[in-house]
Amino acid sequence: MLSEKEKANFLTKFPILEKITDLQPVTWLNPNKRNIASANLSLQLQDMKEAEARWQRFIPFFRLAFAEMKNTDGIIESPLRSIAQMKHALENKFSKEIEGNLYLKCDHELPIAGSIKARGGFYEVLHHAENLLQEAGLLNSPADYEKLAKGEYRSFFQSYSIGVGSTGNLGLSIGILSAKLGFNVSVYMSQDAKRWKKDLLREKGAIVHEFDGDFSEAIAAGRKETKANPNGYFVDDENSKHLFLGYSTAAFRLKKQLEEQGTQVSEEHPLFLYLPCGVGGAPGGITFGMKQIFGDAVHCFFVEPTHSPAVLIGLLTGEKEKVSVQDFGIDNLTEADGLAVGRPSSFASSFSEQLISGIYTIEDRLLFQLLALLADAEQTFVEPSATAGLIGPLKIQQTNYMEKNNINPKNVTHIVWSTGGSLVPERERKAFYEKGKNGDRAKTTR
Ligand SMILES: *Cc1c(COP(=O)(O)O)cnc(C)c1O
């Protein structure tokens, strides 16, 4: 905990903290951003390549084990779509033109888990499963990966357990894949986790532990219980290199998608990415990956709820995982359950502090309005967390970022990362949509 004196010192040193603690939306540009050439990072392109090779080894497994993967290339990937209708809708709503092209990276459509957690979460489970099998001498040829899908190693995995703390989506991804492989899997859920996510996990064979506290408390309990078992493995969202690498490989596939669409990327024709942020692992891993491939031609912005600005406070003060939003009197209560995080990942923060261009915060009310707007404009449903990037281009246009970096706004390709939603049940979808619509009406009558 911070003392009152330390808190007061931070408030004097960083005046923007006043607005942040007052729960007002802010845009912060990172003064500590480095060029990729001068960044000091604990992972390299080679690590990403090895991670990608692991995904490739598991292609036969995914194709055989999951019906929805049967006629795919066996890689967990999502489409990149132009959202011209949404661009118009946003321009109308905010009475401002968006310069450049606007795309949606549709991770809400990622197979099996329906969220960005399919990248990091699946990857870490595969990494662990592969290690165990290798140590036991059970992985000798590519055909052994097919045996995995046929359940031939289920009894082997039954003597191992996996644990994870989650606000919902990470639990879904780890739970579904671990149970499929045959692990005993326990998911420690924070208070903000949605009922349907818990129900779905139980249906898939995971053990769900419910907590009254927030995400950090769920993680602490899960870590302790999982590690008490010598055969237990804990997926630690507050400090995981493997989750991070799993997210990073998105960059290889996005590069290909951009090429296929004929999008040129260079420092004169930069990419701007808008990434919803919880602990910072998913947006941090993607930022790291994209920077490895596109260098300084890619500019990454994170988005957090006004009630959960964990990474913003961590990077702004430089204290990273040592401070939480609660230390500054912020409640960490948001409907954006994927982003309901009070303390950032220490592993991811060591990258993000050097690589990201900035962070803006967004109010819950606007998340629902954007959800309804996207549904109307593009017939695309995403969960509230996943809409946070949609106002990114407008937010950054309002700063001096383009000028300072000599960027012609017309040359920018904006990619809004949509991070979850395809597993949300119909009833919840309707309720979210209605909330977005009513919010709009309430606004016009005020
Ligand atoms: C987890 C999640 C994020 C953010 O990922 P972090 O690694 O926690 O920063 C964003 N959107 C959704 C829907 C998520 O589930």
Atom of ligand 1 nearest to the CA of 420: 13
Contact (Cβ atoms closer than 8 angstroms) between residue 299 and residue 271: yes
Please say if the pLDDT value at position 23 is more than 50: yes
- Please give the radius of gyration of the chain, using alpha carbons only, rounded to the nearest integer: 21
Please name every residue paired with 103 in a beta bridge, in sequence order, or none if there are none.
82, 415
| Ligand 1, atom 15, residue with closest C-alpha | 338
Query: Atom 8, ligand 1: which residue's CA is nearest?
Result: 278
pLDDT tens digits, one per residue of 123-146: 999 999 999 999 999 998 888 999
What values do phi and psi take at 229, rounded to 5? -95, 120
- The pLDDT of residue 192: 78
pLDDT value of position 167: 86
Q: Ligand 1 centroid to 277 CA: how many Å?
A: 6
Q: From 170, 166, 128, select the one nearest 282 (Cα to Cα).
A: 170
Instruction: Please report the atom of ligand 1 found closest to the CA of residue 280.
Output: 9
Find the 139 Cα to ligand 1 centroid distance in Å: 32
Three-state DSSP at 92 gives: helix
Q: Which 8-state DSSP code applies to residue 363? A: -
Ligand 1 pocket test: which of 109, 334, 349, 385 has the largest number of ligand atoms within 8 Å of its C-beta? 385
Select from 226, 201, 289, 288 the least CA-distant residue to 253.
289
If you measure from the C-alpha of residue 188 to the centroid of ligand 1, how many angstroms do you get, rounded to a whole number?
Answer: 16
pLDDT of residue 441: 56
Q: pLDDT tens digit string along 341-362?
A: 999 999 999 999 999 999 999 9
> Which CA distances in Å does 33 have to 10, 241, 318, 358?
20, 21, 12, 9
Compute the distance between CA of residue 180 and CA of residue 175 in angstroms, rounded to an integer. 8
The string of pLDDT tens digits covering residues 359-412 is 999 999 999 999 999 999 999 999 999 999 999 999 999 999 999 999 999 999
State in Å: Cα 151 to ligand 1 middle.
30
Which pLDDT belongs to residue 212? 83
Which bin fits 277, alpha (ψ -120 to 50), beta or left (φ > 0)? beta
Looking at 191-205, 393-407, 424-438, which range is the least confident one? 191-205
Q: Which tens digit of pLDDT belongs to each residue from 295-349?
A: 999 999 999 999 999 999 999 999 999 999 999 999 999 999 999 999 999 999 9
% of the chain exceeding 70 in pLDDT: 98
Q: Is residue 218 over pLDDT 90?
A: no
In this prediction the pTM is 0.96
- Indicate which residue's Cα is closest to atom 1 of ligand 1: 338
Query: What is the number of alpha carbons within 13 Å of residue 283 lying toward its C-beta?
Result: 38
What pLDDT is attached to residue 190?
85
Q: Which of 49-53, 327-331, 436-440 has the lowest mean pLDDT?
A: 436-440
- Could you identify the residue written with the tokens 């795919």? 72
Kindly give the number of the ligand 1 atom that is closest to the alpha carbon of 168.
Answer: 15
Ligand 1 atom closest to the CA of 302, numbered from 1: 9
Whose CA is closest to 416, among 281, 274, 271, 298? Answer: 274
Among protein residues, the one whose CA lies closest to atom 2 of ligand 1: 338
Q: Please, which pLDDT band fits residue 71 given cuts at 50, 70 and 90?
A: confident
User: For residue 339, how far is its CA from the centre of ligand 1 (angstroms)?
Assistant: 6
Which tens digits make up the pLDDT trace of 200-210? 999 999 999 99
**Residue 371: HSE in the Cβ half-sphere, 13 Å Cα cutoff:** 30
Write out the two tokens for 444: 């016009």
Residue nearest to atom 12 of ligand 1 (CA): 338
* pLDDT recorded at residue 18: 97
DSSP, res 56 = H
CA–centroid distance, 239 to ligand 1, in Å, is: 14
Q: Taking residues 418-442, what's their average pLDDT?
A: 89
CA of 191 to the centre of ligand 1 (A): 16
pLDDT tens per residue across span 259-275: 999 999 999 999 999 99
The region that residue 320 occupies, defined by phi over 0 for left and psi between -120 and 50 for alpha, beta otherwise, is left
User: Among 15-19, 72-76, 217-221, which is the least confidently predicted range?
Assistant: 217-221
On average, the pLDDT of the chain sits at 95
What lines the ligand 1 site, CB under 6 Å? 115-117, 169, 276-283, 338-339, 341, 383, 385-386, 419-420
Compute the average pLDDT of residues 439-443.
Answer: 55
